[in-house]
Chains A and B, each alone.
Chain A
Amino acid sequence: MEEQNAAEEQQIKEGIAEILTQCEQDRSQLIPILQRVQETFGYLPKSAISEIGSFLGMTDVQIYGVASFYNHFRYIPLGKHPVQMCMGTACHMVGGGLVLEALERALDVEVGGITIDKQFSLDRVACIGCCGLAPVMVIGEKIFPKMTSTKVDEVLVNLKMEEEEAAQEETDN
């Protein structure tokens, strides 16, 4: 695990260095740089914040202050299966909150968190544009319409089974 972390760190470091070589060394470039880092890693790693800081001559808190202004940036990685629960008006009205609670319980994470095995991250989003199917849950690219709290376990179990099957097939081949 530890080795893996070190390797990951190394990878992040190199990735950031790579991005920074392509960027202008100017404070006005802060947001574009943050966007590129997030595009590459799916989140803003801690080390990225200080690397960008020394690159632009800003302190960590200044960068964090800018980044945290926008909901767009996140500070922990996405899970292998990013789960998003819609909390837009329509979904909220028909019990989206209950589904979200059920998700928190089933995955044992809080909104904005990631499971220990890094398989699932849980986030709430505002309207995803298919209110007719409310309440809507999205896992990765897949949309789950008309969710209820009782359907949560079913969906998660199915997902895990699919994964196992896929893994099985891979070993078979």
Chain B
Amino acid sequence: MEQIELTIDDKKVNTKAGTKILEAALDAEIYIPNLCYIAEAELPYGGCRLCYVHVEGRGLVTACTLPVENGMVVHTQTPEVMRVRRTAYKLLIAYHNLDCRACWKNKKCDLQKLAAKVKVKLKRPEDFRGLPTEFLPLDTTNPYITYDPLQCIICGKCVWVCSKICGEPLLDFAYRGNKTRLTLSPDAVLVEEKCPSCGQCAVVCPTAALQPQGPLASNEHSAEAG
């Protein structure tokens, strides 16, 4: 495999050809915010836009999609980079229900943890001007998992993991624009037939959008206790 040498934040980094900037940086212990990146995925999803970096001669690029090149010079902390990351983050939480203290995923939520890294203050629920809940109602059709579109950042991780485990996605996105949401299944019967109820979608979910229910919820509980 061809070796590539590039510079990330003044640090010389050696890596294999084909590696994405994000991966190279993380391996070299340079942190770049990311929420939708999956190391094993064949194709980058590039949906969260948090991983913006500045590449000399190219400008702003998403680090999870661009492969490294010899002699590339990457900056991960310029004011411009920080600004677009912050904007990207604000877009992710634009209609997110930010009642973090009351949320079941409080302190275990990747989205919440990232706020400090991109220097955004999570405002209290009084400031929450989200979409009305009837616009994006809670989905309870799956007995093992509930889905709250208001907490979802459309990162695609659950869809990826589901199709990896089941060979085909039993959940996928539907609709478009700010109404985009996950469909657990248009038909609940199918879920019971096909879904192995492995709960992996909820494990990879960086937010509180997918919440394990019933047997899955108690599993998690006992795992934590034991």
Q: What residues of chain A have their CB less than 8 Å away from a CB belonging to chain B?
A: 46, 49-50, 58-62, 64-65, 68-69
* Contacting pair B187 A65 (CB below 8 A): no
Does B171 touch A at the CB level, under 8 Å? Answer: yes
Q: How many angstroms from the CA of A58 to the CA of B186 in the assembled complex?
A: 14
Verify if B46 is at the interface (C-beta below 8 Å from A): no
Q: B170 contacts which chain A residues (CB < 8 A)?
A: 59, 61
Closest A residue to B167 by beta carbon equals A59
B172 at the interface (CB under 8 A from A): yes
Residues of the A chain whose Cβ atoms lie less than 8 Å from the Cβ of B168: 58-59, 62
* Cα A54 to Cα B175 with chains together (Å): 22
Q: Give how many A-B residue pairs fall within 8 Å (CB-CB).
A: 41
Q: Verify A64–B190 contact, CB threshold 8 A.
A: no
Q: A59-B169, A59-B170 are in contact. Are A64 and B176 (CB under 8 A)?
A: no
Which residue of B is nearest A47, CB measured? B187
Check if B172 sits within 8 Å of A68, measured CB to CB. Answer: no
- Annotate B152-186 by CB proximity to A: 1 below 8 A, 0 otherwise: 00000000000000001111111110000001111
Given the complex of chains A and B, what is the CA–CA distance between A62 and B169 in angstroms?
Answer: 7
Q: In the complex, A159 Cα to B55 Cα: how many Å?
A: 67
Residues from chain A with a CB closer than 8 A to the CB of B183 are: 61, 64-65, 68
Interface size on B, residues (CB 8 A): 15
Complex interface: chain A residues within 8 A of B171 (CB): 61
Cα of A148 to Cα of B86 in the assembled complex, Å: 48
- A64–B169 CB distance below 8 A: no
Specify the chain B residue showing the minimal Cβ separation from A71: B176
Q: Which residue of B lies closest to A57 (CB)?
A: B168
B185 touches A65 (CB 8 A): no
Taking CB atoms, residues of chain A closer than 8 Å to B176 are 68-69
- Which residue, of A46, A59, A61, A68, has the highest number of chain B Cβ atoms within 10 A? A61
Q: Could you show 26 A-B contacts with beta carbons less than 8 Å apart?
A: A46-B187, A50-B190, A58-B168, A59-B169, A59-B170, A59-B172, A60-B185, A60-B186, A60-B187, A60-B190, A61-B169, A61-B172, A61-B184, A61-B185, A61-B186, A62-B169, A62-B172, A64-B172, A64-B174, A65-B172, A65-B174, A65-B183, A68-B183, A69-B174, A69-B175, A69-B176
